[in-house]
Structure 1
């Protein structure tokens, strides 16, 4: 299918360090002629991104002190230590985390030489691993598969291989199309974290159904089933990865060892004095708005002060800064506060988009002038056809914010409501509670509204500044912020979390965020779920 992103670092170690470690007595020698150039390139690119995104203001020393490590200490362990930890992983996993010389050499290389990369990936995992685990659980797949994306892309959705594989899961165009990932001038769903993860789960499940062995399924994910079948034939019909490894393509020979190393290091990162680089945002801090019209990210930036580069970073599916109108609707993912503000200003967002870009979505070169007629309280647009738009002198902008409260011992719904100055009934509505009973550890959503009066002259000036060389069409004034309309669904026989989300046009993640106190695997008939 795809030949990308995967490391076979043993030759690299050989060339730089000399000889390989001695083989275990019970294992036959494994000859290594492996080149890890593709994965090394991913590592280097991720390191560059680290220095760009995270280096400023990072307080790492205090975390290290808390673990009783000296700053800069690189712990060293025996082979027995590594093997015991891999054996522990095997006890709770359906994978075969073999402790052989190849796996040990790869683990040691990363633990010693790729420490910053591990820290970056640990930080990025907080944005993606919750999503991965949700999807893997939905398809009944081992949760350890989340580490596969680490060796594929370094958890960067925009990364593209020299052979054209793209996204967190590195789909080639043909394979992505086979699994429903669309591409056009504006979008490439191989870069959509949710859709690409869903496609990867379906593809991995199919490969496991073919081979009945996860190590072979992983090798097939990298090299394609055709190459795995050839290696099986050339080996005389052997059916394990380690038995056919020498017959596989060079980069695939290192794929499973690299997966083992990534799983090990990210699981035992604290033991190796590796703490995550704090990410800009966590998965639980995200929300989603599905758009009714095409929107330029520049318009979003103007209306809620959300930089275009940050919008693109959280919405890598869009190839340009324009989000096209489609059915089903295109969605925008962002921080809770930005999405909440956009929801309250959605009508104004569409009005400003129309005002700046017109109906065609492309700026016109025709000259335009904008002025404020204070006497008649109008915004006057001078173009080939004079239009006037009524604009109030002031407007009230209501921002809806969400915070979460974890229930502590001794707290009640009444005490929490008093703490946040909200009504108990509102707390019950926001969290879909049918009674006032709560349990320690429950996560309660708290909604707050902040209303701000804005002078329209500032708004008009901002619009005017953006209107150079444009030709807008007549557009109604921005509408008042709509209220939050809630919708609930009663669970019926045969319903699943996934089916309910699909039925209401939302993702599983959105449904979970609307119902944080409900476990997706423990829903029951008659229970009420908030779906909007």
Structure 2
């Protein structure tokens, strides 16, 4: 039996397109399928609770398998990120934070809530799940264009009339195929043992920034477990300027509380971006900004003290430091206006983020925050990024 159909037609599982998609997955994508199903078991309970709360069909819990292989760290060529492969524009619409410190598209709980809200909105607009899911894949504008060209709101007829992209024309058959396989993995001879790993946690509320590695060391919990539960964190330090709810392993609250009260807290008011000059050392920069070399290395992910001219460092600025004497450019807030006036840019051979930022006359930090990427991110030709454009300044 197929779980929680509510709005889905059972007969669609028997369509020839779904049978073909099933064969393709089993014959050509078996490794992806097994990995996705193993990952799915980690998050299944959380997915189920979320769809029940949202009042949506249970069948939607399988969507992250087709989207990301159920990996919160997955990133597409187009810049979609996380379990549900959310684009920056969708993330901001649903109040997910993307900046130097975090990318909440990677947060399993918050991204799931955002994706389900988006799916509910799409279903309310289209009135059937095939079109809603197609719009989730291709974007509502493309599906509306296909409806206008195909003169029908029936997904299967649009598919036959060739007005959908190849990816979207196979997206729904692949979804039905994955649901069918995931409901009966033994029938298809799949190995999906996941060693019993589950996404279960408690929350530790942190009032100030601190080193996550040091917190784990004092609590006696492997750092990898915190990384697993908090994939949205992009640094080994919790974000400054606000309280942060850190997910910790279920049953570990006592040692973490003890560690938290004994650990040094970092009182960071904000951060500044500093470009290293010839002859600079981390110690001199730290003294200039009224901070410590160890904190600069922690925030920037530096293992040693080697820096080079032209390198950009994010510098913590504490109360009483030089906050009023340096430009604070890494203060990411409210990017909805940037998203509304952005273009999609395809990376070409030889492009660097620095060159792109300079060409479009935007700050590097804005470009990074808008796309949820880091300074050291390697982008390949064909990758797509969003670029906020001021029509008066664009090249």
User: TM-score range, shorter-chain basis?
Assistant: 0.5 to 0.7
The reply on whether 1:94 has 2:29 as its aligned counterpart is no
* Structure 2 partner of 1:56: none
Shift of 1:186: 0.2
- Among candidates 246, 252, 262, match of residue 332 of structure 1: 246
Give the conservation status (yes or no) of the 8 Å contact 2:215–2:260: no
The match for 1:353 is 264
Question: How far, CA to CA, are the matches of 1:209 and 1:175 in structure 2?
Answer: 17
**5+ residue gaps in structure 2?**
272-281, 285-303, 306-395
Shift of 1:248: 0.9
Larger radius of gyration: 1
Q: CA offset at residue 128 of structure 1?
A: 1.3
Q: Which secondary structure does the structure 1 equivalent of 2:246 belong to?
A: strand
Does 2:222 correspond to 1:282? no
Distance in 1 (alpha carbons) for counterparts of 2:260 and 2:105: 28
Structural mapping, 1:395-414, within 5 Å: none
In 1: Cα distance, 2:190 partner to 2:120 partner: 32
Structure 1 residue 303, shift from structure 2 partner: 0.7
Q: Which moved more, 1:270-279 or 1:315-324?
A: 270-279
Q: Bigger CA drift: 203-212 or 105-114?
A: 105-114
Unaligned runs of 5+ in 1: 1-87, 367-467, 470-532
Aligned to 1:132, the other structure's residue is in SS state helix
Cα RMSD (Å) of the superposition? Answer: 2.7
After superposition, give the CA deviation of every residue in 1:191-210 in whole Å (9 maximum; x if it has no partner). Answer: 11111111111110010011
Cα offsets for 1:411-439 (capped at 9, x unmatched) = xxxxxxxxxxxxxxxxxxxxxxxxxxxxx
Residue 252 of structure 2 corresponds to residue 341 of structure 1: no
Contact 2:101 2:235 in 1 (8 A): yes
Give the aligned partner of residue 158 of structure 1: 73
2:241, 2:268 within 8 Å by CA — same for their partners in 1?
no
Specify the SS of the correspondent of 2:256: helix
- Which residue is 1:134 aligned to? 49
Mapped pair 1:265 → 2:178: no
| 1:235-314 equivalent positions in 2, closer than 5 A | 235=150, 237-245=151-159, 246-279=162-195, 281-284=197-200, 286-314=201-229
Q: Distance in 2 between matches of 1:253 and 1:145?
A: 18
Could you give the per-residue CA deviations for residues 86-123 of structure 1, whole angstroms, max 9, x where no partner exists?
Answer: xx438954213342221101112223343333332232
Specify the alignment match of 2:110 in structure 1: 195
Deviation for aligned residue 1:358: 7.4
Structure 2 counterpart SS, 1:289: strand
In the other structure, the counterpart of 1:175 is 90
The structure with higher relative contact order (CA 8 Å, sep 6+) is 2
Aligned equivalent of 1:420: none
Normalised by the size of structure 1, how large is the TM-score? 0.48
Q: 1:326 to 1:261 in 2, by over 3 A?
A: farther
Q: Distance in 2 between matches of 1:361 and 1:297?
A: 19
Deviation at 1:251, TM superposition (A): 1.2
When the two structures are superposed, what TM-score results if normalisation uses the length of structure 2?
0.64
Q: How does 1:43-62 map to 2 (within 5 A)?
A: none
**CA distance in structure 2 between the aligned counterparts of 1:287 and 1:294, rounded to whole angstroms:** 19
Alpha-carbon separation, structure 2, partners of 1:347 and 1:310: 20
